[in-house]
Amino acid sequence: MKNILVINAGSSSLKWQLFQHTNLTMIASGVMERMQTPEARFTFKYQGQKEQTKIANLSYEDGVNRLLATLQANDIIQSPSDIIAVGHRVVAGATTFEAPTLITPENLSTLKALDKYAPLHNPVQVDCIETLMRVLPDQTPQIAVFDSQFYLDMPAATSYYGLPYEDSQKYQIRKYGEHGISHEYILHETARFLQKDVHNLKLITLHLGGGSSITASQNGHPVDTSMGFTPLEGLPMGTRAGSLDAAIVPFLMTERHQSAEEIINRLNTQSGILGVSGISADMRDIQAAVTTNPRAKLAYEMFITSAAKFIGSYYVEMGGTDVITFTAGIGENDAVTRADICAKLAVLGVQIDEDRNLNGRGPRVISTDDSAIQVLMLPTNEELAIAKHVKAKL
């Protein structure tokens, strides 16, 4: 059986799914978490079974080799040649890569030069591409699918910053967003779920998780998004500060006697929900502490307020909104956060049905029948979206 393997590598994790080539049926899946730490875990899911193994300091290359060995040990593939293509999620393609791209030695070198646009993500994703190129047969296509490609046709008024225009052009400085693969998938899934033409929808999608972003789409295309030049901009996230005054960077460099690189690292890895609360980057831990820990309460309120502000601004920008869709780890599983964000949108006529929100299962409408804006919860599937792009390239 010929298969497509999809790799979704993050700064400390690697999610994967294996799809049957002809109809894109998902065969097996898994995740490697807390990579290169003593707590690293390898999870394998197949035929309703789940196996989890702790492997201290698991590297990306060791993880990929273990994945291939596990697929063979379970007779899912007979040899690595049964994988006829690999799709890789890559965060930043800048304006250099405008569509899913077959990786060659030449454009792999070009891709490496774009690390600066997503320094926590692109280097790891490029490493995974190189790893699969080493361990699979030479002729196996490696195809990069870019989060940034979804946002390249956003209006100039929402894509550009107030910089000298020549700087924006020369250095490719503009909003690239993140989670574009997820937002594009949810845009079309929302239209399919509601049985409406995607070109007739004014939609706001919330991809909320360790990294969070909000996108407004109209007429089937994105018109604005919360993340910016890098994934640092937008909501305060698990460990990322979100939007802030640019002058804070040189100010902290002086006050903390640190380099720009050190400060940017602090804004990416020690800030956001973790930095404000002082206890955790995990929203579950934050919610458990909001009644006893003032800093946890502050972190939660900052997250909720920021989300509502983006939604409100996009509502005005599009001249109204038909649907709001929640997705990703927090968006799909955290009914309390969904309800608290929507409570701030009551001025727009948003009304949440408590029973649908709390007790429903699977994809569903969670707003009341008379809510001015329909509110949905739909699971995202970036890996399936990538697999569709890969199949189209073969």
357 annotated binding-site participant: no
282 annotated binding-site participant: yes
221 annotated binding-site participant: no
What is the residue extent of each domain of the chain? 3-152, 196-377
The burial class, CB within 10 Å (0-12 / 13-18 / 19+), for 306 is buried
Pairing between β-strand 202-207 and β-strand 213-218 as defined by DSSP bridges: antiparallel
pTM: 0.91
Tell me the pLDDT tens digit for each residue of 76-129: 999 888 999 999 999 888 888 989 999 998 888 899 888 888 887 888 898 889
Give, rounded to a whole angstrom, the gap between the first and last alpha carbons of the chain. Answer: 16
Is 322 tagged catalytic?
no
Per the residue annotation, which of 75, 82, 138, 147 is the catalytic one? 147
245 annotated binding-site participant: no
Please indicate whether the domains covering 3-152 and 196-377 agree at the CATH topology level: yes
Rg of the chain taking only CA atoms, in angstroms: 21
Classify domain 196-377 at the CATH topology level: Nucleotidyltransferase; domain 5 (3.30.420)
d(CA 231, CA 226): 9
Tell me the pLDDT tens digit for each residue of 332-342: 999 999 999 99
CATH number of 3-152: 3.30.420.40
| Per-residue model confidence (pLDDT) at position 294 | 97
8 annotated binding-site participant: yes
| Per-residue model confidence (pLDDT) at position 36 | 80
For residue 266, give the DSSP letter.
Answer: H
| Per-residue model confidence (pLDDT) at position 210 | 87
d(CA 375, CA 349): 11
295 annotated binding-site participant: no
How many residues are given for the chain?
394
d(CA 225, CA 242): 13
207 annotated binding-site participant: yes
284 annotated binding-site participant: yes
Q: Which residues of the chain have pLDDT under 70?
A: none
